[in-house]
Amino acid sequence: MNDQTTDAPMRTELSGKTGKDYWKSLEEYSGTERFKEWLQREHPQAADLLAIAPDRRSVLQLMGASLALAGFNACTKQPEERIYAYAKNPEAMTPGTPLYFATAMPWAGGAIGVLVENHMGRPTKIEGNEAHPASLGSTDSFAQASVLDLYDPDRATSVKRRGRVSTWDDFFGELRPAVTIASSKQGEGVRVLTRGVVSPSVGAQLSALVAAHPKLQVHVWEPIHRDNARAGSMLAFGRDLAVHAHHGKAKVLVSLDGDFLVAGPESVRAAREFAAGRKVRKDKTDMNRLYAVESCTTATGATADHRLAMRAVDVEGFVRRLALRLGVAVQVPQGALDERSQRFLEALAKDLEANKGAALLLPGPWQGPVVHALAHAIHDKLGCIGQTVEMLPPFESFGAEVDNATSIKSLCDDMRAGKVQALVVLGGNPLYDAPADCDFAGALAKVPLRAHLTTHENETSRQCDWLLPEHHYLEAWGDASASDGTVSIVQPLIAPLYNSKGAHDILATMLDKAGQTAYDAVREHWKAKRPDDFEAQWRRWLHDGVVPGTRAKAVAVAAKAIVEPASAAQKGLEVQLRPDPTVWDGRFANNGWQQELPKPISKLTWDNTVQLAPATAKALGVATGDLVEVSIGGRKVVGPAWIAPGHAADSLTIHLGYGRVHAGKVGDGVGFDAYPLRTTAMQWGATGATLAKAGGSMELASTQEHDDYDAFTTEATKRNIVRVRTIDRFKAEPGSLEPGQGHAAHHGPTDIFEKPRTAEMAALKAKKEATGAPLQAYDSRVSEDYQWGMVIDLNACTGCSACITACVAENNIAVVGKEQVMRGREMHWLRIDRYFKGDENDPEMHHQPIPCMQCENAPCEVVCPVGATSHGPEGLNEMTYNRCVGTRYCSNNCPYKVRRFNFLLYSDWATESLKMQRNPDVSVRSRGVMEKCTYCVQRISHARHAAKREDRKIREGEVVTACQQACPTEAIAFGNILDKASRVSLLKAEPHNYGLLEELNTKPRTTFLAKVQNRNPELDGRA
Amino acid sequence: MAQIFHESFNSLAKVSIAVAAVLGGGVVAIAWQANNSNWATDVDVPKEQPVQFSHDHHVQGLGIDCRYCHTSVEDAASAGIPSTKTCMSCHSQIWTNAEMLKVVRDSYAKDQSIPWVRLHDLPEFVYFNHSVHVKKGVGCESCHGRVDQMPLMWKENTLNMGWCLDCHRNPEDVLRPKEDIFAMGYDPVAKYGKTQSELGHELAVANHVKTLTNCSTCHR
């Protein structure tokens, strides 16, 4: 159903209605007739295939014609192909065998270390680098998607001067005199604008530039910056120190309106450490407890054991009270908290006090300095500094002390005042993402020489004289430091596709070192720092992906008293601006993978919305999809509303990064731009907003009800698809279900081999009982060496969706676009179902990744008329595209709805640059065929071939599926279930392991570990 | 009322049906034959190459091992097409001025590939791995024929799916001892005094060779 919650009657139905325990959407929650009718169709999303109903005759004509023509497909003579062997073969390269290289992806003011799969000189897939502290072997979805940006056909390809193709020499010819003339005036009038600088060598160049020209100014603008955290540190410690949290050591974690598990370059490590302290096994039942106090619904909040929704502006008051309760002297706002928040605070405070040295408070970057400062003070008070948090010096290589907002404001003021003669913008897109009150566009027009180094021609470069194509990080030499200071050398995986250069080249020219390459600049920088045996070290750094000994040293500090006065409680509607979970600040707007990735909670694709709570929507008379005008301080934007269960009341959340005008073919005109609301004074949110209906509504493409397979269940026949237990109940009685709960508990799955009906089945049973291999009804050839299986730990899943993007990249999965997503035709082989439980205004949220279950008794196989899907001897439910004729019977018969049909020619077969991204080990599917998760059969084959060559069996851990590889929390285990010592076997032996719809006797190979919550008994039930 | 059709039309109708059936069948048969003919499959058709390289001369005449040029045949999916540098390792010493090798020298000097014409071309949805076949005892000759007797290379087998399955169903028909993988003109009776079937069965057991006919063996 694409137009959620559009009918007014339903709003009234929703009030006071309590439906099932678990629900996915408000329609389901309220159980409207329309929703039931939608479900009654066997394949809801496929029901409206044809816009016009054809008559019988034309159907017959079309069928006859297709049948007659189909045969001709096979009658082609292969066209002659050429083989272009190397003239001089490069070292270590075997055609068809990928190589892996370590590098680092600088982004969002940090960096994540990655290993890049390289096929014959083409980087195709990003994997995590175990040696890198911000990766630990995993990645987020952004890193996975970054490889698509490299091959984006919309990239800037050549130097342009006012829209006309020019050359680098022409540009340098214009830049050099500008700097030279200025140098007589100590660089006055020359400005450089950069994003957050994480490259030590670029930082050194910038410092040298400023040293050479004292009046040349370098400005920094990173839209999602850490200004508040820095200011908070200044308040608490009198100096800028960055928190380096040890989530694994913490027993009690508090997310203060942040999203530490998913957002930002440090989230992968945070999620890994957090989940490690949370995985429950039969012999390990201690787990951490996460509280979340937040305004909008985040993946972190969904993972929390206790979640308190409150407006973002009220969080500071909450934290002040919490601090005071814990003995930190601080002024608290007047008045009292409401009863529920007070109870939450009291329980939280007791829990924190009981866990001295093991507590961790994590404020969102958008929360004010006082919240950050108080978190430091509480850490200090509870003895957590040195335990769960380390205070590290800032890692930025240049301008760590620069306040982003002040910096860009002063630049714009100077430009307007005519003080700037030449502006060089290194990366970024300030015209789009600078604070609205700066009027960057207006100010920029006053600058005589303006140049923009950028990977894509965007809003900013269109207003600059010079468009300078920038290297993608996979094409460039460089270096980058992670938030803990650890430096990685960035090495190119491919020669630049276009005539591009990097920041190093521009700065070298400005430093009068024209011709110095990035490679030279980076090496020169590091050779000066590490002169001993540099060449050997350099090779080691490139190989490992990290430069040892660069991690920052912790600083011992004590928090000062926080004397900032408390402001009075602010009434009214607030609006909050947040980076988007899939396109971030807008830099991934032209990335189809990220646009089509369902956002963790809303499951929305291809749009941003004005999110608000069901109660607020009711009060304002707004339904999902209604176009609303949000205004604050005289600035306004118009966008569609989205009713978000669990959102704080009287609060609106808008994600940034959408509404790009010049992003490219994919990102142009997608969503609406929220930056016009953002000013230097109000960067993240404020109260005093108003919301008015703007008239009309629009359809939004949310996948939340697609592939619904459990919605008919009632209390009586409940299938317990997502299973959640509390740790106390689990300790008393381990298992995935509460005692006596559910269908399976009553009857248990039926085993068709228990009483064999035929002699063949009896013989099969006897034979297989001897070997221990699993029985499969449809295939008697069963491998006694390997049987593949998967376990997904729901307790570790944060819903971050890195697995989905990894699957897309690995398996050549096509992007279908908004209109097709609205028809339910997204091609993702792996989806993450999100369930709500309980009241619509304060629900629990649960994530459940659903790949193919690889059933041992697969219902899809028996209905295929052409044998295109069949059972492999190792338990894989195989899909053979070249046999598929597209009847879609298999998908109809799949109880889990994990099969995906290529309705149209979704894969781009025409764009040359995109072909380079594809994984050559996986077929690119055409239209008319079914596809689905294969357990990454190409990786199994790869490992099998290696094992056979070496006369051994495939080792445990040798086959890692793409989703498993990317998962930051190691929630996915994959392996041979015949090996009783394998990780997957051990997990399947856990008491809380369960299969979906087991009572159907499909015998799914993918099973789940039930989610276990660590509730605070003080908070009666859920708070 | 007079008869519209003469009696002879009965026979004519029968004959027309028979002729139509024969013609129709003939068209199908011709199409089938054409599709399986050497014209369509390129089997036994030597192809002109940019350099008229003779396997006959290099393998039989000079006794060069397959792996000298096809270096990755034991390690990777692709057997490996030799780089020009491999040619030049000898031809920088011998026949250094031969007109026939000008293309090779130019390729090396300009660092540009020689555009060899492809003979063995599997569809994109088929994933074949040389290293495993070699490891399990399938000789080069089994698929590629007597390469040592090919002055210009041709395709010995159709490489269609039925042909693959013949061996995948009965691997004992082609298995060889390890030392004979790269041999040409291999004869198990002459060398070991055993029929291919006997020896093949022994080798299948010894090397754990299975009949792999599930789809994902080759398709993914």
In the numeric block, the tokens 């059972």 are attached to: A871
Q: Where are the alpha helices (DSSP H) in A737-888?
A: 742-747, 759-771, 802-810, 818-822, 859-863
Establish if A121 touches chain B: CB-CB under 8 angstroms. Answer: no
Residues of A in contact with B31 (CB under 8 A): 75
- Residue A11 is predicted with a pLDDT of 39
Which residues, other chains included, contact A571 with Cβ-Cβ below 8 Å and sequence gap of 6+?
A687
Q: What is the pLDDT of residues A282-320, one digit of tens each?
A: 888 899 999 999 999 999 999 999 999 999 999 999 999
pLDDT exceeds 90 at position B39: no
Most confidently modeled range among A3-12, A14-23, A372-381, A717-726? A372-381
Say if the Cβ atoms of B31 and A75 lie within 8 Å: yes
Q: What is the pLDDT of residues A844-865, one digit of tens each?
A: 999 999 999 999 888 999 899 9
- Residue A13 is predicted with a pLDDT of 41
Q: For residue A795, name the pLDDT band (cuts at 50, 70, 90).
A: very high
Say if the Cβ atoms of A881 and B82 lie within 8 Å: no
Q: For residue A75, name the pLDDT band (cuts at 50, 70, 90).
A: low
pLDDT exceeds 70 at position A713: no
Token code pair at residue B23: 């013609």
Looking at residues A21-44, what average pLDDT do you find?
66
A110-119/A900-901 β-pairing? unpaired
pLDDT exceeds 60 at position A12: no
129-148 in B: which are within 8 Å (CB) of A? 129, 131-132, 135-136
A786-796: burial string, b at 16+ Cβ within 10 Å, e else: bbbbbbbbbbb
Distance from CA of A816 to the nearest CA of B (A): 21
Establish if B14 touches chain A: CB-CB under 8 angstroms. Answer: no
Q: What is the pLDDT of residues A540-596, one digit of tens each?
A: 999 999 999 999 999 888 888 888 888 887 888 999 999 999 999 999 999 999 999
DSSP A626-680: EEEEEEETTEEEEEEEEE-TTPPTTEEEEESS---SSS-TTTTT-S---GGG--S
- Residue B1 is predicted with a pLDDT of 65
Establish if A952 touches chain B: CB-CB under 8 angstroms. Answer: no
- Taking the C-alpha atoms of residue A401 and residue A390, their distance in angstroms, rounded to an integer, is 19
- Taking the C-alpha atoms of residue A488 and residue A106, their distance in angstroms, rounded to an integer, is 10
Establish if B112 touches chain A: CB-CB under 8 angstroms. Answer: yes
| Residue of A73, A94, A120 to mutate, testing the B interface (most B Cβ within 10 Å of its Cβ) | A94
> Which stretches of A1-121 are assigned E, i.e. beta strand?
22-23, 82-84, 99-107, 110-119
Token code pair at residue A306: 């206790």
Looking at residues B136-155, what average pLDDT do you find?
92
Looking at residues A661-680, what average pLDDT do you find?
93
pLDDT exceeds 70 at position B90: yes
Looking at residues B44-51, what average pLDDT do you find?
90
Say if the Cβ atoms of B83 and A85 lie within 8 Å: yes
Residue of A nearest to B116 (CA): A83
Residues of A in contact with B220 (CB under 8 A): 921-923, 934, 937-938, 941
Residues of A in contact with B74 (CB under 8 A): 949
- The sign of the CA dihedral A587, A113, A200, A168 is negative
Cβ–Cβ under 8 Å, residues A650 and A312: no
CA angle A19–A21–A24, rounded 5-degree value:
80
In the numeric block, the tokens 């994600």 are attached to: A655
The more confidently predicted of residues A213 and A12 is A213
Encoded amino acid at B210, one letter:
K
A688-to-A417, A632, A633 alpha-carbon distances in Å: 32, 6, 8
Which residues, other chains included, contact A818 with Cβ-Cβ below 8 Å and sequence gap of 6+?
A605, A606, A607, A670, A701
- Taking the C-alpha atoms of residue A383 and residue A377, their distance in angstroms, rounded to an integer, is 10
A869-871/A877-879 β-pairing? antiparallel
Cβ–Cβ under 8 Å, residues A632 and A677: yes
Distance from CA of B203 to the nearest CA of A (A): 14
Closest CA relative to residue A730, chosen from A171, A281, A224 = A281
Looking at residues B45-63, what average pLDDT do you find?
91
- Taking the C-alpha atoms of residue A814 and residue A812, their distance in angstroms, rounded to an integer, is 6
Q: A–B: how many Cβ contacts below 8 A?
A: 125
- Residue A33 is predicted with a pLDDT of 66
Distance from CA of A96 to the nearest CA of B (A): 6
Distance from CA of A56 to the nearest CA of B (A): 29
pLDDT exceeds 90 at position A879: yes
Looking at residues A399-406, what average pLDDT do you find?
89
- Taking the C-alpha atoms of residue A259 and residue A366, their distance in angstroms, rounded to an integer, is 10
Closest Cβ–Cβ partner in A74, A923, A937 for B125: A923
Dihedral angle, C-alpha A367, A368, A371, A376, nearest 10 °: 100
DSSP A688-715: --EEEEEEEE---EE-TTTT--STT--S
- Residue A248 is predicted with a pLDDT of 92
Q: Which helix (H) or strand (E) holds A948?
A: helix A937-949
CB atoms within 10 A of CB A38: 18
Most confidently modeled range among A33-42, A70-79, A960-969, B3-12? A960-969
Q: For residue A769, name the pLDDT band (cuts at 50, 70, 90).
A: confident
Q: Which helix (H) or strand (E) holds B24?
A: helix B8-36
Distance from CA of B204 to the nearest CA of A (A): 14
Say if the Cβ atoms of A941 and B136 lie within 8 Å: no
Residue of A nearest to B111 (CA): A87
- Residue A34 is predicted with a pLDDT of 64
- Residue A542 is predicted with a pLDDT of 94
CB atoms within 10 A of CB B159: 19
